[in-house]
Amino acid sequence: MVEPLEARIDPHSGNPAMRHYDVSPGHPPYESRARFLGEISGSWRSIGQQVGQQAGDLVRWVADVWWAEHVSKYGRQDTMNALSLYEAQVAALDPGLIEFMEGVAEGAGEQLDQSPFAGDISHYQKVLNTNIFDAWSYRHPTATPWADTEPGDMGCSSFATVGDGPNAAAETIATHNRHCPFNPKCYQLAYVGRPEGGNAYWTITPGGAGAGCQIVNDKGVSLILNAGGNLHREMNGDAFGVPWFLLFLTVAAQADSAAEAIDMITRGTPAYRAQTKRNSLLRTGTWNFLVSDRTECAVIETSCDRYAIRRPGDLGEIGNYLVMTNHCTCDHSFNADNERTDLPMTRFGDAASNPGSARRFEILMQDLARHHGRLDSGLAQQLMCGHHQYDETGTRLESPDGAAGFQFGGDVTCPHRGEYPHAPEGGSADAKVVVSRQSGVEANWTLGRPCEWVGPWDQVLFGKEFAG
Ligand SMILES: [Zn+2]
């Protein structure tokens, strides 16, 4: 049975500030909302083709910026070698993901033909390169050439609240702000995918990437990704593993619960383990995952081959909820053979090595405690627009009258990077608030910083009881 879908895309909504955000010379400005592609069903190849056909221009702009960046930073040959190494891991996890990328390349072919790099590498290799971006750029697994231009101040803010303890109603809310450089991540699309034999999912993502930092399926399983510990190089925490852009697609399609998703992200699937002779999933570096469904939530702190899981209550939560930013907190870790060890995940980067992340963590922890019992979709959207901080005594701090706000260069839930007043360089490339109920899933999103969005957030409802 095909489940119904209802999209609420208000023509009067949008982000008018998108026109100020950075683009490469010769590239078009961003649209005022992520392009909504509707519902896309079929094989992975077919889903990829339809994405490419409907958003070939977005696929091309993203591919061109990231291919040029990789060649310039790491060299053409090393990047080509890296593509093969990551691709082998993706194929071991789910060959359907390779077909998805081939489909995107086919569907976007006419646009990719017009790229100045069209004769340089194949369209498929360009799409594959898009899908290794966060891994190869931010969790670079080789010592040379190491271009030390990692944006150390970029991180994400997220939380999940479960049930009618933290929330006003019996539902789960999972939300995320993706803090990153805007160019080219704001060439974004959103859609509901229905892969053959798998769960339907919603995601918002830069053109050609498998998924952005949040995906949710029709079972209510939400996956959120933040950059994790910042000492990954010192701790050899990076590897040519499975890039998370694609990992998210296969986990959303296959996992019917948070527990199943956690198992796939930590141990991998039986087919992956058989193919690679590993006992766990090889990831690409230090990433934090926030996984939730209608009854539970968990944060998985990871390196390429270690992980630990924290739960509500471990860090002073007063109910069934979790906040996640960009540092590690666990005092132990499981190794590649899933054995518990005394090596703490905090060695990969903790509150002391990443004080900005710690500050943003405290802001949302205070917010959730203060609003405990009252949270709903609208309040969650307000919190993701937050420009306030708290001091050590818990006093809420706002910017003084007449001063540039804390959000300009500060550690807040909705930061603004780049010069005042437009801050064109970075901040939230998108914000999402996903609500999972027995009746189905509601996904709300913005393009760009949520504080700049005008009108109701773009929204889809999908799941068994939405009659459209
Ligand atoms: Zn803001």
pLDDT in tens, 103-126: 999 999 999 999 999 999 999 999
Q: How far apart are CA 235 and CA 286, in angstroms?
A: 10
Asked if 315 and 337 count as a contact pair (C-beta separation under 8 A), the reply is: no
Confidence of residue 144 (pLDDT cuts 50, 70, 90): low
For 73, the token pair is: 């930073």
Confidence of residue 188 (pLDDT cuts 50, 70, 90): very high
Cα(186) to centroid(ligand 1), Å:
16
Residue-range domains of the chain with CATH: 35-42+153-462 (3.60.60.10)
Secondary structure (3-state) at 195: strand
Q: Please report the pLDDT score of residue 401 as a whole number.
A: 85
Residue that wins the pLDDT comparison between 231 and 155? 231
Q: DSSP letters of 82-119?
A: HHHHHHHHHHHH-HHHHHHHHHHHHHTHHHHHTSTTTT
Cα(171) to centroid(ligand 1), Å:
27
Cα(415) to centroid(ligand 1), Å:
6
Tell me which residue of 88, 92, 87 sits closest to 275, measured CA to CA.
92
Strand residue runs (E) in 143-257? 157-162, 172-181, 188-195, 201-206, 214-217, 222-227
Confidence of residue 468 (pLDDT cuts 50, 70, 90): very low
Cα(468) to centroid(ligand 1), Å:
33
Taken in order 158, 163, 165, 167, is the CA torsion positive or negative? positive
Q: How far apart are CA 223 and CA 254, in angstroms?
A: 12
Cα(138) to centroid(ligand 1), Å:
24
Q: Please report the pLDDT score of residue 3 as a whole number.
A: 63
* The pairing of beta strand 287-292 with beta strand 222-227: antiparallel
The DSSP 8-state label assigned to residue 329 in this structure reads -
Q: Please report the pLDDT score of residue 419 as a whole number.
A: 87
Cα(308) to centroid(ligand 1), Å:
32
CB atoms within 10 A of CB 439: 12
Cα(417) to centroid(ligand 1), Å:
10
Asked if 303 and 289 count as a contact pair (C-beta separation under 8 A), the reply is: no
Has residue 465 got a pLDDT over 80?
Answer: no
Give the CA dihedral 57, 59, 60, 63, nearest 10 degrees.
Answer: 160
For 390, the token pair is: 């708290």
Cα(407) to centroid(ligand 1), Å:
6
Taken in order 140, 144, 145, 147, is the CA torsion positive or negative? positive
Q: To which H or E segment does residue 124 belong?
A: helix 123-131
Q: How far apart are CA 46 and CA 41, in angstroms?
A: 8
Q: 95 φ, ψ to 5°? A: -60, -20
Q: How far apart are CA 108 and CA 37, in angstroms?
A: 14
Q: What is the pLDDT of residues 212-248, one digit of tens each?
A: 999 999 999 999 999 999 999 999 999 999 999 999 9
Q: Please report the pLDDT score of residue 467 as a whole number.
A: 38
Tell me which residue of 136, 42, 36 sits closest to 80, measured CA to CA.
136
Q: How far apart are CA 367 and CA 260, in angstroms?
A: 30
Cα(156) to centroid(ligand 1), Å:
13
The b/e string for 132-146 (b: 16+ C-beta within 10 A; e otherwise) is bbbbbbbbbbeeeee
Cis peptide before 145 (omega within 30 of 0): yes
Give first-to-last CA distance, the chain, whole Å.
15
Residue with tokens 């081939």: 102
* The pairing of beta strand 333-334 with beta strand 5-8: unpaired
Q: How far apart are CA 146 and CA 137, in angstroms?
A: 10
Q: How far apart are CA 60 and CA 117, in angstroms?
A: 10
Confidence of residue 253 (pLDDT cuts 50, 70, 90): very high
Cα(457) to centroid(ligand 1), Å:
15
Q: What is the pLDDT of residues 384-410, one digit of tens each?
A: 999 999 998 999 999 888 888 999 878
Residues whose CB is under 5 A from ligand 1 (ion)? 407, 414, 449, 451
Angle, vertex CA 161, rays to CA 363 and CA 34, nearest 5:
80
Q: What is the pLDDT of residues 303-361, one digit of tens each?
A: 999 999 999 999 999 999 999 999 999 999 999 999 999 999 999 999 999 999 999 99
Q: How far apart are CA 33 and CA 454, in angstroms?
A: 11
Cα(427) to centroid(ligand 1), Å:
8
Name the β-bridge partners of 417: 426
Q: What is the pLDDT of residues 200-212, one digit of tens each?
A: 999 999 999 999 9
Cα(412) to centroid(ligand 1), Å:
9
For 239, the token pair is: 């590897």
Cα(385) to centroid(ligand 1), Å:
6
Orientation of helix 244-254 relative to helix 95-107, angle to 10°: 110
Has residue 154 got a pLDDT over 70?
Answer: no
Confidence of residue 147 (pLDDT cuts 50, 70, 90): low
